[in-house]
């Protein structure tokens, strides 16, 4: 069962790039890495998912090194509305194992 470790909190300013790293040393061959954003009183919202190398979509990039023991969520040019908790989830494609990290509270200031 892959255990994940994330920083508890991070601070940034509007317009900056933010990188949040998740460690998952025991990741299994079949595991994917998925990142979610959660605002208070809402469910987690899917941001991005990857298996290896780099994945990019309209809101974020996900960098996964060759050994896959960590992953980095990159948010370009954050705004105040990006203030939220970000969760790293490691789980296999068949969803037989699902482990959420403890989450990183990102605070974006003006």
Partner 1 sequence: SAVISQKPSRDICQRGTSLTIQCQVDSQVTMMFWYRQQPGQSLTLIATANQGSEATYESGFVIDKFPISRPNLTFSTLTVSNMSPEDSSIYLCSATGGEGQPQHFGDGTRLSIL
Number of residues that bind partner 1 (CB under 8 A): 20
Q: Which residues between 46 and 75 bind partner 1 (CB under 8 A)?
A: 46, 49
- Chain residues 76-105 in contact with partner 1, contact rule CB under 8 A: 87, 89, 93-95, 98, 100-103
Rg, Å, the chain Cα set? 13
CA–CA distance, 86 with 59 (Å, rounded to integer): 13
Give yes or no for a contact between 103 and 47, defined as CB atoms under 8 angstroms apart.
no
Q: Which of 41, 58, 67, 110 binds partner 1 (CB under 8 A)?
A: 41
* Minimum CB–partner distance for residue 8 and partner 1 (Å): 11
Residue 100 has phi, psi (to 5 degrees) of -85, 145
- The structure tokens listed for 86 are 């970000």
34 lies in the binding site for partner 1 (CB under 8 A): yes
């Amino acid at each position: 069962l892959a255990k994940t470790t994330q920083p508890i909190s991070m601070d940034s300013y509007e317009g900056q790039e933010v990188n949040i790293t998740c460690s998952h040393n025991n990741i299994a061959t079949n595991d994917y890495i998925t990142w979610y954003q959660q605002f208070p009183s809402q469910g987690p919202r899917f941001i991005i998912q990857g298996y290896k190398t780099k994945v990019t979509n309209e809101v974020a990039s996900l960098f996964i090194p060759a050994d896959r023991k960590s992953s980095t969520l990159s948010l370009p040019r954050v705004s105040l509305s990006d203030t939220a908790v970000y969760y790293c989830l490691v789980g296999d494609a068949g969803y037989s194992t699902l482990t959420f990290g403890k989450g990183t509270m990102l605070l974006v200031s003006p």
